[in-house]
Structure 1
């Protein structure tokens, strides 16, 4: 019950300091199965104090009412409400982004996907080009805004089908991205999506929904809080939406353009086969994520029949 002081946070005698509260909360969260109990306990303490972070070596003084407010926050996390939903933000690469219920929370492993897009855009800028980058199924806008903020001079368009995601990505773009970064609503399966950019895009990057229907996530934070629209990719193998991303990328990318797409670690061979089956891609390969798992498809757009290759 919100506001109830969990047993691990009860104290007797003199008022405890911040370290004692965090240690008690860590025990409570650990017993609840939270994967990073001390990190989350510390982050919740900082949030309750209105601070970006706290140092337990030199803890700040605690205001009146801290104990009850902190206990309520810990109880929410103990019930496996995502930390990002409680605090209202997440850190992705160099960005602090707003997070809201109803929109997929970006994960650290997706930073590898963003890095590949950033590297390609930066390479083109170094060659005197103005890279055009499209992020399909953008969610919070994490990947698109990483490119927009890390590669000056890039032109970035972020796309999502969800009303909630589009509104949130626009808010985040307005807060952190250069003017000109666009967030548009659209369905990756729509053959007219961004038709004005057909054959003109240098990088298509995507973290689409890809979970198969029979692979329900075990983590309550994902299963109970991330929207189904952002999780389940459709079809028996979960790859219907990723295949639509491949079709859209084949249409949007200029010859030599780069496709970067996240998938599940068990889908690497199927994703490569799907990319090759389009006949639109070469140099099809899989890149591991931060934990070494095969999670990202990378491929180059070949020139359509009768069209000469443009400079890479």
Structure 2
């Protein structure tokens, strides 16, 4: 096939795929169409630079497009998801990292005092926050904790790719008896400089409407337990109170309506001298920032 014929075929493929995805309700049909075409072509190069296509290009593109039309997340189709400076491996059955979670690392830098050498990522999922910390903080060693064995395996892969030999993953339930042997290993990591977490926090009645979330993200990674969805987040806060050194910080994501409840939970658990809620890039309250107390009285900020 000539280079001109290849480009004509690519233009037709882009137009048709974009139309199909648009009819299927995909929010960004043109962007997704380009990604699917590149995957079918087996290239990371810009499409305008392609002079030839694999013999099975049309067959591959049809299969990928049909999956996206069924609202399978693009990240799962491609097997990867961007997160800060990294391209993470993703798999079916493991929570797909979200762009809004990326801000947790900026908040960590903003609110931390002292070194960031020993970090913990609780409810790590794919390992997105832990891997990014390894990538961006060369002195850091990160211990990540995840309840699901499949997610823990994936996180271990992403951590090793981001910071070879500096990350470790424990498979454990943060809400179980702290005397559990694996959790005892977590407790032995104390004192740590900082904890990041994107735990499950959705209340039981707040069922996501997006089919891509409801059908493909594991429910255990979405619903936080208890009537308010904060059972797991409270466990995260409790572990932060146990693990952090004085002055160490917890950055924990939560729903935009859970700021007061998250601060109240941290106040009741105790051990922190500063509590505040940080907004995401759209201005919605999305992160609990809690500093481990030294000797100062508790300070709660809206």
* TM-score scaled by length of structure 1: 0.86
1:241-252 equivalences under 5 Å are 241-252=232-243
Q: Do 1:105 and 1:226's aligned partners in 2 also have CA atoms closer than 8 Å? A: yes
| Residue 223 in structure 1 maps to residue 246 in structure 2 | no
| Residue 93 in structure 1 maps to residue 79 in structure 2 | no
Structural RMSD (CA): 2.0
Query: C-alpha deviations, 1:113-153, integer Å up to 9, x for none?
Result: 132235566x64xxxx4521000000111100111111111
Which of residues 21, 37, 42 is equivalent to 2:29?
Answer: 37
Q: 1:299 to 1:23 in 2, by over 3 A?
A: same
Which of residues 60, 70, 77 is equivalent to 1:79?
Answer: 70
Comparing 244-253 with 274-283, which one deviates more in the overlay? 274-283
Match of 1:309 in 2: none
Query: C-alpha deviations, 1:3-37, integer Å up to 9, x for none?
Result: xxxxxxxxxx9994212211221111111111221
| CA distance in 2: counterparts of 1:53 and 1:231, whole angstroms | 35
1:156-195 equivalences under 5 Å are 156-190=142-176, 191-192=178-179, 193=183, 194-195=186-187
Which of residues 140, 144, 149 is equivalent to 1:154?
Answer: 140
| CA distance in 2: counterparts of 1:239 and 1:300, whole angstroms | 19
Q: Do 1:135 and 1:144's aligned partners in 2 also have CA atoms closer than 8 Å? A: yes
> How many pairs does the alignment contain?
286
- SS of the equivalent of 1:234 reads coil
- SS of the equivalent of 1:106 reads coil
Give the superposition deviation at 1:207.
0.2
| CA distance in 2: counterparts of 1:285 and 1:15, whole angstroms | 54
| CA distance in 1: counterparts of 2:295 and 2:145, whole angstroms | 25
Structure 1 gap segments, 5+ residues each: 1-12, 306-312
- SS of the equivalent of 2:133 reads helix
Which of residues 288, 292, 298 is equivalent to 2:289?
Answer: 298
Query: C-alpha deviations, 1:81-138, integer Å up to 9, x for none?
Result: 11111111111111111100111000000000132235566x64xxxx4521000000
Structure 2 gap segments, 5+ residues each: 297-302
| CA distance in 1: counterparts of 2:34 and 2:7, whole angstroms | 19
Give the superposition deviation at 1:181.
1.2
Q: Do 2:20 and 2:69's aligned partners in 1 also have CA atoms closer than 8 Å? A: yes
Give the superposition deviation at 1:68.
2.1
- SS of the equivalent of 1:258 reads strand
Match of 1:310 in 2: none
Match of 1:4 in 2: none
- SS of the equivalent of 2:276 reads strand
Q: Do 1:110 and 1:262's aligned partners in 2 also have CA atoms closer than 8 Å? A: yes
Match of 1:46 in 2: 38
- SS of the equivalent of 2:278 reads strand
Q: 1:262 to 1:69 in 2, by over 3 A?
A: same
| CA distance in 2: counterparts of 1:252 and 1:270, whole angstroms | 22
| CA distance in 2: counterparts of 1:71 and 1:118, whole angstroms | 44
Give the superposition deviation at 1:45.
1.0
Give the superposition deviation at 1:178.
3.0
| Residue 272 in structure 1 maps to residue 258 in structure 2 | no
